[in-house]
Amino acid sequence: MRESAERIEEEGVSIIAVVPADGEQIRAFSNAFGSYPFPILGDPGRVAYQKMGHKRMSRWTLVPIAFRLLTGQIKLFKDDPKQNEVVKKAIRTQDTMQNGGAWLFSESGDLLWSHIDDQPQNHATIEEILKQIRA
């Protein structure tokens, strides 16, 4: 997402990321991974996640993910010990079954478009987001 931010902001759109974590975890993340070109806000109780209709995965969804982890197709842990600590804490303390989504709002706060992920890999693509921004 860091890589796509510039393309989105070139369209005159501000980006805000929301994570199911608290402010302290966000600060630790920024210290370990570097700052992001947009604000990261925490919803530790996942109130906004739930009220806005974001879904949780079924446990069966974890089976292919576990397979990809075991076969090395996904690398969970980082080489940097500081980054590793942040990732481990995220796994321990955050709801790993939570899915995300993307929401586009107008200047006046009206909802223009949204995409609710029904699986972890089913994110809105950058092309879809740009198409909706230009619509």
**In the complex, what is the shortest distance from the CB of residue 71 to other proteins, in angstroms, rounded to a whole number?**
21
| Other CB atoms within 10 Å distance of the CB of residue 91 | 11
**Contact with other proteins (CB under 8 A): which of 10, 37, 41, 82?**
41
**In the complex, what is the shortest distance from the CB of residue 33 to other proteins, in angstroms, rounded to a whole number?**
8
**In the complex, what is the shortest distance from the CB of residue 70 to other proteins, in angstroms, rounded to a whole number?**
19
**Nearest one of 38, 39, 37, 25 to 95, comparing CA atoms:** 25
The Cα 135–Cα 132 span in angstroms is 5
**Contact with other proteins (CB under 8 A): which of 81, 107, 131, 135?**
107
> 101-105 and 40-42 as β-strands: parallel, antiparallel, unpaired?
unpaired
Q: Is 75 in the site for other proteins (CB under 8 A)?
A: no
The position carrying tokens 């446990």 is: 59
Using DSSP's 3-state secondary structure scheme, residue 42 falls into: strand
**In the complex, what is the shortest distance from the CB of residue 67 to other proteins, in angstroms, rounded to a whole number?**
18
Using DSSP's 3-state secondary structure scheme, residue 50 falls into: helix
Would you state the structure tokens that stand for residue 48, as one six-digit string?
């906004």
Q: Is 61 in the site for other proteins (CB under 8 A)?
A: no
Interface residues with other proteins (CB under 8 A)?
Answer: 1, 8, 12-27, 29-30, 33, 39-44, 47-49, 51-52, 54, 83, 86-87, 89-91, 94, 96, 98-107, 109, 117, 120, 129, 133
